[in-house]
Structure 1
Amino acid sequence: MNFTSEIALKYEIDFIDMMFGGKEKDIIDRGTDWCADMARVGCILLQCNNIPARIVHLANITKAYNGHVVCEAFLDGGYAMCDFIYGVFGYDDIPLSSWQMKLNRELVTKCYLRDYTDYSPKYDFEGLFSEIAINEYNIVNEKNNYTESKPNSYYIRLI
């Protein structure tokens, strides 16, 4: 996770000039701090090391347009949340899944406080775990669309 969080930390492209999507190698080569792209990279890095992994979408339902994308890795008999942007690992003697963190937000605080040096309550990572959606990601699925794109007008208006 240090590898991916360092990429995100050093990324300095303005949103309007960012590229999204592409194959995971493209994402690594160009860099990004976009959580959805980095979660895909993390998921594939885990899978290439024979660690089952899936992507998790987080949503804070108390704030408009407030979400994040992380990954979960299956190890030690359970899923552990992996935030490849902030370098946070959901583990506290046992794997901590996004679902467990949704049910007990103190686990969110504990993991982010431990692993993310710039943690602050103002970021409300805990709120991001109000709702979660899990999806399996298979890099060899022929239906995957690896088109690269720039921000569309809708996102530009939001940002």
Structure 2
Amino acid sequence: MLITINLNGKKIVDDVSADTLLIDFVRAHGCKSVKRGCETANCGLCTVFMDEKPILSCSMLAARASGHSVTTLEGLQDEAAEFGAFIADQGAEQCGFCNPGFIMNALALFREKEYPTEEEIKEYLAGNLCRCTGYEGQLRGILAFLAWKKQKEEGKA
């Protein structure tokens, strides 16, 4: 089946089988940040944006994404690098396996709520799996990023 997906700003036309998952499609097209974790839509490692909304690519057929825009971490490098540094500063990326999905979901949160509360952050990111840390480092990193962002906007950073 022939599908067309705008992947990270580039039009991709490909012939895929009807059962091809979106995760396999994006990885086949060089987006290695999208990872397989649980394959049950429970860990957040496969998060991508489809039409600017976060989705789990392990539970969507590539054919359903045809005609849509799909963005992976590779397509958000500048935005991700700025935020990712705060996660790294807190030592919250011990093995780094969960980082792409975690960063994608955090960026989605920031787009939805410019300055979320700590409780909103915890709730929004509850579906992300990290086997190395207790999520406290990620939470500290997010809070530090938000504080820095606010200072920057006020002209103090």
TM-score (norm 2): 0.30
Q: Normalized per residue, which structure has more helix?
A: 2
TM-score (norm 1): 0.30
Q: Which has the higher contact order (CA 8 A, sep 6+)?
A: 1
Q: Normalized per residue, which structure has more strand?
A: 1
Computing the radius of gyration over CA atoms, which structure comes out larger, 1 or 2? Answer: 2
